[in-house]
A and B are shown apart, each in its own frame.
Chain A
Amino acid sequence: MHELSIATNLISLALEAIQNKSPALHTSAPRVDQVTLRVGRLAGVDAEALQFCYEIATRDTPLAGSQLVIEEVPAVVYCPACQAERELPSVQRFVCPECGQPTAELRRGRELELTCIQLVEPDTVSPPAG
């Protein structure tokens, strides 16, 4: 279970990014709405466990209460026979889904990338509806 380390990394990267891009927003009440992370199919990270750890690890930080949005990136290999990139239907079988050629050349699918952070401007925060 290394999702807690991953969540901790994510939080410090996010806080650093907020600090750099929007220093005024760093200090007070929770204004971070959403944090979006791209997770490759072969990143070795379990999305459910990461959600759980994120919620715990963001407590008492400016990210508390924010939502972690996980975008899954499929595994994409390069097929030397087709000379094209192909998305793998299963990571248990590294063969080109078009022509059946085995290939170990992974082009995408190991991503673990903080893509964006959605903030809500402090003076426009409205109480939660309903």
Chain B
Amino acid sequence: MTPRILEIRKNLLKRNDEIARELRSRLLADGVLVVNLVSGPGTGKTSLLRRTLTELRGRGFRVAALVGDLATDNDARRLAETGAPVRQITTDGLCHLEAAMVESHLAAWAPGPLDLLFIENVGNLVCPASYDLGESVRAVLLSVTEGEDKPLKYPTLFHSADVAVLTKIDLAEPCEFDRAAALSNLAAVRPGIPVLETSARTGAGIDAWIDFLLAARSRLAADPLPGR
């Protein structure tokens, strides 16, 4: 009995990566910065995003959000209160978003000309790491209430991020948040990662976050990179 070997060498996520690359270059060419927000559940993605949409609209930018959720449209309804176009992607139990979902929802939606598009991923620190959604900025959120060692527990996701946003910073003291440990853990899994400290409730650090996004947008619009 002679076994026969077929050499294949194919990336399993090739299709996702191709769709993501195409989305990224098309959107950047249109001047749209896509931001993928990833974190565990309850970190405050929706609160940060709500504040971000409001602030950016106040500064005259055209913004919209795609919101991934396992089952409910609660987050999308909260975000729609900002007046920005919001579209829900219900994943029906799927633990992450994929580039094809973003592509098809964008095609069916037409939110008008945009400057920034936010994608709120499903709250999950594992699965979203593997799926490029065509974003130019992947922001990972870490709340002061959830433990400074999260980056060490989920290095794959934290390593894949372009920026880390510490959320609920107004609760740092009551939670005895160890800032030095959190920063050192973030730097251990992703040396050089920019870290921004924010509170969606008090507004602390929101300006710096907005400035970071706008700087990224100007930089990438001037010199779009082919792929990540």
Contacts and interface: CB of A to CB of B under 8 A. Distances in A.
A83 interface: no
A65 B205 CA distance: 55
A28 to B, nearest CB: 16
Contacts of A111: 11
B6 A18 contact: yes
A103 B127 contact: no
A112 B157 contact: no
Contacts of A94: 159, 188-191
B187 interface: yes
A124 B1 contact: yes
Nearest to A33: B3
A43 B159 contact: no
B104 interface: no
Interface residues of B, number: 34
Given A6-B12, A92-B155, A113-B12, A121 B1 contact: yes
Interface string A3-33: 0011001100110011001100000000001
A61 interface: no
Interface string B1-36: 111111111111100000000000000000000000
A121 B152 CA distance: 47
Contacts of A9: 12-13
Of the listed residues B10, B12, B13, B193, the one surrounded by the most CB atoms of chain A closer than 10 A to its CB is: B12
Contact of A124 (B2, B8, B11): B2
B184 to A, nearest CB: 10
Given A42-B159, A94-B189, A126 B1 contact: yes
Interface residues of A, number: 41
Given A9-B12, A13-B10, A13-B12, A104 B126 contact: no
B191 A17 contact: no
B47 interface: no
Interface in A61-97: 91-95
Nearest to B127: A2
Contacts, number: 112
B95 interface: yes
Nearest to B129: A44
A41 to B, nearest CB: 9
A79 B112 CA distance: 44
Of the listed residues A5, A95, A113, A118, the one surrounded by the most CB atoms of chain B closer than 10 A to its CB is: A5
Contacts of B3: 33, 118-121
B87 interface: no
Contacts of B8: 13-14, 17, 114-117
A72 to B, nearest CB: 14
Contacts of A114: 8-10, 12
Nearest to A2: B127
B226 interface: no
A119 B155 contact: no
A53 interface: no
The 9 A-B pairs at the shortest CB distance, nearest first, are namely A102-B191, A2-B127, A44-B129, A44-B130, A124-B1, A117-B6, A44-B156, A112-B12, A91-B155
Interface of A: 1-2, 5-6, 9-10, 13-14, 17-18, 21-22, 33, 37, 42-45, 91-95, 102-104, 106, 111-121, 124-126
